[in-house]
Structure 1
Amino acid sequence: MGALRRLMDLTKAVVNETLDKMEKPVMMLNQYLRSMEEELHALQRELTKETASSRTWEQQIAGCFRQAEQSEQKAREALADDRTIEARQALEARQTYLDQAAEYTRAYEASKLRTAELEQQLKQAQTEYASMQAKRDELMQRAQKVQDKEQTAASSFGYRADTGAAVHGFQRIEERIMQKEAQLEYAESMKAAATASREALIEEQLTRLRNEAPVHK
């Protein structure tokens, strides 16, 4: 939303401070609106992409659970035939699928949050764009009045460094890097914890299946 907010601020600055110095105010106002349209299209594309990503994560989660159930059934069958090694392997596979499901679930939840965030941003952008369209005629009239009053050749804008945009850009990059670092650190800690308890979990599953298995006579 930084780009849209900057466009709004620039337009207000034109009206309140330097509108009387613009060479072609109508052209500039239309350019601002076109820039906002591009931002809207970009947001819509990103939202569509994130929505598709959420569906993909959801499908992968369901697939992992199906594979986990099938692996458990294989473990039951192997244990019933006293094939302990195969039963253990099946339970290992089951746990791997469950670990993957947990990882995909975290990604799915993050994707859903991002989708909601993009939907809110798009809604706000659409509101701002509608407001800008409604005010365009008024701004054009005020620009014309300034030009008529001046009755001089219009002058172009002087160069002004947009340092605020550059600072904001660096801040966004830093925030994204910090976010990725935090995600990697969290993933590594979760992986270490899962590895430490995996063997105990497998033994627990074997015990459960042995207890559930029918006694051979």
Structure 2
Amino acid sequence: MFKFFKRVSTVVGSELNAMIDKAEDPVKMLDQYMRDMESDIREADSAVAKQVANEKMLKRKTDDAQAKVEKRQNQAEQAIEADDEDLAKRALEDKADLEHQAELLKESWEQANQDTSELQHKLDEMKKEYQQMKLKKDALQARAETAKTKTKMNRTMSAIGSDDSRKGFERMEEKVLQYEAEADTSEDYSHESRSLDKAFERLNTNNSKVNDELAELKKKMGKD
């Protein structure tokens, strides 16, 4: 009944590393250990309750036997006072048998009482150890969860800095630079085209103005 607690105490001392080495889930395994310990405690509680009941029964029988012994003693004394030696003798003979039974019952009760005390002491130790294991389990589970989170973050950060990720990032950067270069080239071409159009517009405007002035001058000088 109590062997499991000793085994768990040994296991919990180095359970985290052992479970990780075996690819076991520490959180689930520790929960299972606690459930097993709870089951052991319930079993021990039941055994102690039965032992207490047995010890009380033996104590009651021992007291009853001792009371009968005292009763036969009193009856023997009453028979002597009544000058009935035969009745007194019978009472004393029965008293002897009852004393033997009472002695056996007393020995059984004393042993049962000792066993009950030992079992209750062990049960108290189990419950105390269970509370200690419960606190340690909570701490170990917190450490396990923290370790899992760190591992996950480290893997994520490692992936971010991997060659594939870096090369992909650089490739996208080159594409963006290419898009920007194409946009600048397109803008320069558009600007040159507009500048050329404006130059011809100014030329046409100037020629028209010159032609108008020339025609006006000829008209004025009668050369038209």
Q: Look up the SS of the partner of 1:61 in the other structure.
A: helix
Which structure is larger by alpha-carbon Rg, 1 or 2?
Answer: 2
Aligned positions of 1:45-124 closer than 5 A: 45-80=46-81, 83-124=84-125
- The aligned counterpart of 1:131 is 132
**Structure 1 residue 82 displacement after superposition:** 5.0
Cα distance in 2 between the residues matched to 1:100 and 1:67 = 10
Residue 140 of structure 1 pairs with residue 164 of structure 2:
no
Q: Which runs of no fewer than 5 residues in structure 1 stay unpaired?
A: 153-217
By how many angstroms is 1:79 displaced? Answer: 4.0
Tell me by how many angstroms 1:77 deviates.
Answer: 3.8
- Detail structure 1 runs of 4+ shifted over 6 Å in the superposition: none
Q: TM-score, normalised by structure 1?
A: 0.61
Aligned to 1:205: none
- What's the % identity of the aligned pairs? 26
Q: Per-residue deviation at 1:125?
A: 0.8
Which has the bigger relative contact order, CA under 8 A and spacing at least 6? 1
Give the letter for the 1:128 counterpart. E
Q: Deviations over 1:107-148 (max 9, x none)?
A: 111111111111211111111111111111222234342696
CA distance in 1, matches of 2:40, 2:12: 16
Q: Deviations along 1:8-47, whole A, 9 cap, x unmatched?
A: 2123342243434233322211110011101111111122
Hey, what does 1:10 align to over in structure 2? 11
* 1:19 counterpart = 2:20: yes
- 1:138 partner amino acid: A
Partner of 2:203: none
TM-score scaled by structure 2?
A: 0.59
Aligned to 2:184: none
Contact 2:73 2:91 (8 Å CA) reproduced: yes
The structural deviation recorded for 1:56 is 1.2
Partner of 2:205: none
Q: Confirm or deny: 8 A CA contact 2:19 2:26 kept in the other structure.
A: no
Amino acid at match of 2:31: N
Give the aligned CA root-mean-square deviation in angstroms. Answer: 2.6
Shift of residue 81, structure 1, vs aligned partner: 5.0
**Shift of the alpha carbon at 1:80?**
4.5
- d(CA) in 1 for partners of 2:88, 2:116: 41
- Secondary structure of the 1:22 match is coil
